[in-house]
Structures are given as C-alpha cells and as structure tokens.
Amino acid sequence: MAPSHAADNSEPDHGPVSARLRSDNYTVAWGTPLAIDPGAELEVGRGGGHGGTLSWIRFRPGPDEVEVLSVKLDEGWHPYHSKWPPDRAPVATTRGRIDLAAYVALLNELAMLHAATVRPVPQNSNSISRSTTNFWVQARLASGTEVVFDLDWAGYYGSDTEVEFAKALAMTNLTSDAVERLELRPYTLTAEERGWVSDKFVHDWARFAGSDSHWWVRERYLITVGVAGDAAALPALRDILAGGDSVDRHEAAIRDILGDGASDDRCVYYAINAVTRLVGTDVREWPVEEMDTAAVRPRVLALLDGR
C-alpha cells in the first residue's frame, strides 16, 4: 500500500484509530494487523518532565476479566532550596478491572497502530517547530516469552522528531483513555506485583543507559522502585551506588546536557533513599535533603554487603 498523508487518511477499516496517528509532519501507511493473543500482557508508561509525573500501567488477563494495575509517581513542581530535593516519594498504587472483551478490542486497536508505517514529511529548517514539552512514552505487549512490540521514547517535542514517537504516543494515549473509563481504587501491592516493579526497574534501567533524554525518567524510576519494589532491585541499586553502571559510564554525556552532572548526583541520592526504604535500615545523615552522599554511599554499600 502506498503511503498516504496522515491528515487525509480516513480509511473506514481503521475507524477512530486513524485519528490517533495523524499529523502534518508524517505520512501513514496502514498495514495488516497481527492476530493478538487475548492473554498477552500489556504495559504502558508515560511521564511529563516538567510536570513531575511518571506512571506505569499493567494489564494482566484472567479467564473472564483483566486486572489493571497502576503505579504512579506525582511529585508536581515544587522549587526547593536544599542541597537535594525533599525525600517525599509520593507514589500511589491503584487497581481496577476491565472486561475481557473490551481488553481484546483495545489490543486489536493497538495492533492496527503497530502495523502502521510512519514516514517523515520533508521539512526545511525554517518550517521545523520545537516545544518545551518534555515527555516520556512507552508501550510493550508480550505473549509469554514473545514480545509483540516494545516502543520507548523520551525527549522534547519537535515537528522533525514527531515520527520517532508517534506510534508510542498514540498507543499510550489510546490505552490511557481506556483506563480513565475504569474505576481504579487504592491498592496494596502483592509480593508478585512488587517483584514486577523491581523487574521492570532493572530491565528499563539497562535500556535507558544509552539515552541522554531519559535522565529525568531514570530519577523517577529510582523514586518509584524504592516505594513499590522489593529486594530484587537491590543488586541493581548497589551497582548504581558502586559506580559500575550507566550512571558513571554516561556521566560525560549527561554533564554535557545539564552542565554539572546534576542528574548523576541526584541518581545517587535517590538510590540511597530507595535502598533505605527497601531494606528498612536508615544509615543516612539528617536532614536527608542536606546529606553528604559521598560520605553516606559507603555506609549504604556496607549495609547491602552485610545482608
């Protein structure tokens, strides 16, 4: 099928899904969707860099309905005058359910988006637009060990980069709209769900290692895992504190962006706080937001090595 301009694409077979993938900055060619296993597990993530938010949503199918788990960090925007941000960690966990038929319908719409091919519309330097909107979107669908799709993007909106995040954004928007129609209630995570949070943290942390645009996403992952994770995250947190992971390997690149390595330093601070919550023993200096992380770091490493 030849590509058609997204703004003119109104193919009836794709219905409202076509409106999710429409822009003057790219064209869309609709492919043939894959047949999706109704038992496949869907995960979506999103966050606003300036809004202080980060959220994960997991869909876990059962025989007749699908459990929907939401883990959300919402810091808001609060100026601070201390050495480090206040250690508040406002992470909320909620759960609801969606009818299996509605979930299958959602998966079929996501399959349409996945099958689409987007191509950029050529732009000259005078027509490129930029925005201060900084965001992160992620969409992953897996059936057993088979990954159907796994999209992730973080950065600032730009008309020349929209093609890079268009499908991931469309998928997260479509899924978020479905979740907004559900009744999610405050919920205490099970051991299995805490294990999922830790596994997601470890998996995505490694994934973000080569992306400078994910610096604020990494920080919020550290806050989130400290509240909602479990001991399975401790080895990765230890590597962060020991300087053996991406925090140090990509330090130069982050410093180029932020000027002084501020995000790397905050990652150490957040990792110390996460370990403190997960272990239940506090060796930090007080007040926490003024602590000397260089002095506290070896104490936390000793605490972890003594477990």
Tokens of 2: 């030849």
The answer to whether residues 51 and 181 belong to one domain is yes
The answer to whether residues 86 and 232 belong to one domain is no
What is the tens place of the pLDDT at every residue in 66-109?
A: 999 999 999 887 888 999 999 999 999 999 999 999 999 999 99
Confidence tier at 273 by pLDDT (50, 70, 90): very high
Domain boundary among 137, 168, 188: 188
Q: Identify the pLDDT of residue 255.
A: 42
Does 185 score more than 50 pLDDT? yes
| Mean pLDDT on 8-23 | 71
Domain boundary among 140, 170, 188: 188
The answer to whether residues 210 and 101 belong to one domain is no
The answer to whether residues 42 and 171 belong to one domain is yes
β-bridge mates for residue 5, sequence order = 27
Of 263 and 179, the structure prediction assigns the larger pLDDT to 179
The answer to whether residues 147 and 1 belong to one domain is yes
The answer to whether residues 164 and 77 belong to one domain is yes
| Mean pLDDT on 243-256 | 45
The answer to whether residues 242 and 268 belong to one domain is yes
Q: Identify the pLDDT of residue 261.
A: 65
Least confident of 28-32, 97-101, 153-157, 248-252: 248-252
Residue 206 domain boundaries: 191-307
Confidence tier at 269 by pLDDT (50, 70, 90): very high
The answer to whether residues 36 and 160 belong to one domain is yes
The answer to whether residues 130 and 274 belong to one domain is no
Least confident of 115-129, 166-180, 225-239: 115-129
Q: Identify the pLDDT of residue 174.
A: 96
